[in-house]
Every structure is written in C-alpha cells, then in structure tokens.
Amino acid sequence: MRLKDKVAIITGGSSGIGRETALLFAQEGASIVVADVNDTAGEETAALIRAQGGQAVYVHADVINAAHCENMVAVAEQTFGKLNILFNNAGIMHSDDDNAMTTEESVWDLTMNINVKGVFLGCKYGIPAMRRAGGGSIINTASFVALLGAATPQIAYTASKGAVLSMSRELAVIHAREGIRVNALCPGPLRTELLMKFLNTDAKKQRRLVHIPMGRFGEAKEMAYAALFLASDESSYTTGTEFVVDGGITAAYVTPE
C-alpha cells in the first residue's frame, strides 16, 4: 500500500475532492483525520472509511479559525501519534463572485479567508507536527485559474488560488531541507457540486467546456489520484510544483473546434 502507516489530515473532507481523497488515502493504508464544517457529511466520510476497514476520525474545523486548525492537528497526533500528510483542500467558490466592479467586498473577504488564510493556518499548525514526525507532504489545492484567467469572471477565487500557488512555492523552499515537501495541486474544471453551482446555466458550462481539449469536466476521483502521488514517497523529489491536472486547458491557447 502506497501510504502504509501514514497519517493524513484532509480539510474539506465531507465532499468532492476531499471525500474522494480521504477514501483513496485510507484504501492505500493511511489513517485519516477528516476536517470540515459540515458535521453530518464529514462524519459520513469517516464512517465510510471505517466501513471499508480503514481508520478515520472526524473533527469539526472551520479553517479560518486558528484554534480549530490547531485542534485538528492535535487530534491527528493524539489519535494516531503523528502527522505525515496535510491536504489543505477546503475552499469556496462564491456564487456572487464576478468581476472587479460587481463583486462585493464581503465576497472577496470571505473567499480570501477560506481559500488563503485557511491554507496558511493549516500550515502554521501542521508544519511543527511534521517536524516532530521527521518530515511529510503538504498538498494545497490551487486551481488552473492560478495560471490562467477564468473565462467566466470569478475575481476573488482566481486571486485566492494565485495566492495559494505562491504560498506553496515559498513554503516548499523554506522547508525543503526539513524533509517537508509542499506542492500545489491545480485542478482543471471539475464536475463537482462546487463548480456546477457556480456554472449554473448550460451556457456557462459550455463556455468553460469549449476551452478544455478533452471536451469534458474532470472528476473528483481523478484529483484524488493526483493527490495520492504527491502524498506518497513516489514523489520524494517533487516539491514547489504547480501540479496541473486539467484536461489540457492550460496548454490550449486556441479554442478547439
């Protein structure tokens, strides 16, 4: 098993990429701390892992709350003895996020708090635990829009994911010689509830699809497999990367017919 005897925290673990990754990591031998604000769905993810023979606990964690982030790390160490993998995956894509003129300041602030401050706080408390464990892997969910502008305006989300990418690079450089690797996973457009709620009309969906050479949205499970590589020792020489899994969208500078 690729994650045998590893301990992982996955934020946003109640659904989408987070849930699929939690299930996959557990199948590969990791003990999982599922962290989320949706207690019902988060507990369900942990129960699904236990039902398939894995080890998992759920902890309520609002990633913009420092005490919650400190606690989720403490739960990992107290329950499973250490922390080897931190997947800072929790994030939002607000339905009122638009262009710079129409996006409200409150939407900007909320998006930045969850998508950027949440990653910072995860690392703030997770890195000392990884030092105690002798190293580890941090995976931060960025996006292809950290590299490209989004065809459908979402100014706060795009800026927040650019910040996650930059932060990941700096963390990677600072902590490389401590055996702590940091990579930014950059998914393309996915068929998840988060994006489908944002692209709430067929026209919006088509506008996004036409730019993807593969001609389809990605699946959360495909991101989970990418995260598995970054979490495992197979990626032992991989740090500071923008790990792009996007159906070719960032490679396409012309719209396919």
User: Which CATH class, in words, describes the domain spanning 7-189+219-251?
Assistant: alpha beta
- Give the SS3 label for residue 43: helix
Closest CA to 195 of 246, 241, 147: 246
Contacts of 201 (CB under 8 A, 6+ apart): none
- CA atoms of 34 and 63, how far apart (whole Å): 12
Average pLDDT over the chain, rounded to an integer = 94
* pLDDT level of residue 256 (50, 70, 90 thresholds): very low
Q: Who wins on pLDDT, 226 or 252?
A: 226
**In the chain, alpha helices (H):** 16-27, 39-51, 66-80, 105-112, 118-133, 155-175, 193-198, 202-209, 220-231
Quick: pLDDT tens for 83-132: 999 999 999 999 999 999 999 999 999 999 999 999 999 999 999 999 99
Whether 125 sits among the annotated catalytic residues: the reply is no
Exactly one of 157, 225, 237, 253 is catalytic; which is it? 157
Quick: pLDDT tens for 134-165: 999 999 999 999 999 887 899 999 999 999 99
Quick: pLDDT tens for 83-95: 999 999 999 999 9
Start-to-end CA distance of the chain, whole Å, equals 43
- Give the SS3 label for residue 57: strand
pLDDT at position 253: 65
Dihedral Cα 110, 64, 142, 96, nearest 10 deg: -20
The answer, yes or no, to whether residue 192 has pLDDT greater than 90, is no
- Residue that is written with structure tokens 């710079």 in the block: 100
Quick: pLDDT tens for 1-56: 999 999 999 999 999 999 999 999 999 999 999 999 999 999 999 999 999 999 99
- CA atoms of 150 and 146, how far apart (whole Å): 9
| φ/ψ (deg, to 5) at 109 | -65, -45
pTM over 0.85: yes
What would you report as the CA-atom Rg of the chain, rounded to the nearest whole angstrom?
A: 17
* pLDDT level of residue 59 (50, 70, 90 thresholds): very high
